[in-house]
Amino acid sequence: MKTPLFYFLLCMMVLTPVLYGSESNRTANYFLTSPTNFDGKSITVDVAFVRPQSWKSPYPEYAFFVAITHDRLTRKTGGPILVMVDATEAQNFAKKYGTEFKGRNFSTALQGTFGTCPAGVRRNDSWMIDTTGKAGSLTKQN
């Protein structure tokens, strides 16, 4: 006769790899693996820190950062992704997410709309997170 403990242990053996064995779905790597599935959708990523872009924004009203995402499950980097913010909020954005990994052992959630970069911003990757809600109209204009 099987005891309740047996069934509990059997369930844990089945569920543990499913719950903890896979990568987080809140990283740049996750969204960039199949970006067209998320185009135009609101997403959340866990950010370890951000870096302001060294190039000048073609849109002075917006600032661009690269967010280094963090996989909370495996405690590994989740890859970089471009982020567009209002230029007036750039300083607060940098302060909230930090600009250096040193000393940060946690991640902060970032929400925005996943989509393509407006013309003039494209670099190695043409996907980004828009926190302003206005990248879509910039993309259509150009």
For 46-84, how does the pLDDT look when each residue is reduced to its tens digit (9 = 90+)? 999 999 998 888 889 999 999 999 888 887 889 999 999
Q: How large is the average pLDDT for residues 77-105?
A: 88
Domain spans in the chain, listed from the N-terminal domain onward: 23-141
Q: How large is the average pLDDT for residues 107-134?
A: 82
Kindly report, residue by residue over 5-19, the tens digit of the pLDDT. 555 554 545 544 444
pLDDT score of 16: 45
Domain spanning 23-141, CATH class:
mainly beta
Q: What is the DSSP letter of 122?
A: -
pLDDT score of 103: 57
